[in-house]
Structure formats: C-alpha cells, structure tokens
Copies of this chain bind each other. A is one copy, B any other.
C-alpha cells in the first residue's frame, strides 16, 4: 500500500530503484522488498521520501501507519469489529 505509492512516485519521476536506494542509503534489494510490501519502511525513510517527492508528510505517514495496523490484525478473526472498536475508543 505505502509501497505501491512509493513505486508510483518513483516511476512517475523516472528514478531507478538503485538510485532511490542510494539516496536513502539502503540496499537496492531492501528497497525492492519495501516497495512490494515484503519489508517495512522505517518512519524516517517515509519522511525523507515525502520531501524527495514533495508529498505532504501526513499523507504518506497515514498510508504507512495504516499498513502497520493491517499487519497487526492480519490472520486474526473479527478484524473489522476490532478496528471499529479501536476507532470508537479513539474518538
């Protein structure tokens, strides 16, 4: 999800995976995994990426956090109810 977004931005800007990886000072394989959702971006990288691609930090961070939430509940039952309950609690 956040990975798709980053890939989209990267391709729209004609930047190669290895170029972006170099900018973020990470291994190309790692960035590939991150874009595909195999691994998680670190929060600092998301912040850096929002600057690189001139996107509102909030948007990317929200995507990133939603991914994390989805990961915590994957493989569980009653996901929807739990999310709704969590949301209700928050408000």
A interface residues (Cβ-Cβ under 8 A, vs B): 1, 58, 61-63, 65-66, 68-70, 72-73, 76-87, 89-91
Q: Is the CB of B80 within 8 A of A65?
A: no
Q: Once bound together, how far apart are the Cα atoms of A79 and B69, in whole Å?
A: 10
Can you list 18 pairs linking A and B with CB atoms under 8 Å apart?
A58-B78, A62-B78, A62-B82, A65-B79, A65-B82, A66-B81, A66-B82, A66-B83, A66-B85, A66-B86, A68-B73, A69-B82, A73-B86, A80-B90, A80-B91, A83-B83, A84-B87, A87-B87
Contact of A90 among B58, B83, B86 (CB under 8 A): B83
Closest beta carbon of chain B to A2's beta carbon, Å: 11
- Please indicate the chain B residues that have their CB under 8 angstroms from the CB of A58 in the complex: 77-78, 81
Chain A interface, >50% SS class: helix
Contact of A83 among B1, B61, B76, B86 (CB under 8 A): B86
